[in-house]
Amino acid sequence: MKDVRTPTSSSYHDYLISSLKDPEHATAYLETFLELEAEGREPELLRSALKDIIDVKLLLNNLSQEAKQRYEQLDKLLSESGGTEIYTLIEFLDALGYRIALVSKD
């Protein structure tokens, strides 16, 4: 039998942060959390995903002061509301026959 190692949470987080350096991967990662069905949504997951993206931008020294301020505002809103505004918008657009799609500007 092969010696199989389970990644520790630290090594997984390192891997995740490394992979999010690729703008396409980061875009797909965020889209995943925006496309969750109502029963699969957890506000903390969306907040965590956004924090991961911010961590990568900080690591790459690629976070403007404006982006940092907007993130802080959004994080506060998400912590208070659980993201209901964002998910309500997504559900409304879905009912109209649309969906949110993220596209990297890079």
Place of tokens 């559900």: 91
User: What are the pLDDT tens digits along the chain (106 aa)?
Assistant: 455 554 556 788 889 999 999 999 999 999 988 887 777 777 788 899 999 999 999 999 999 999 999 999 999 998 888 888 888 888 899 899 998 888 888 6
In a domain, 103, yes or no: no
Q: Where in the sequence is the domain holding 35, given as residue range(s)? A: 10-95
In a domain, 66, yes or no: yes
In a domain, 1, yes or no: no
In a domain, 5, yes or no: no
In a domain, 102, yes or no: no
**How many domains would you assign to the chain?**
1
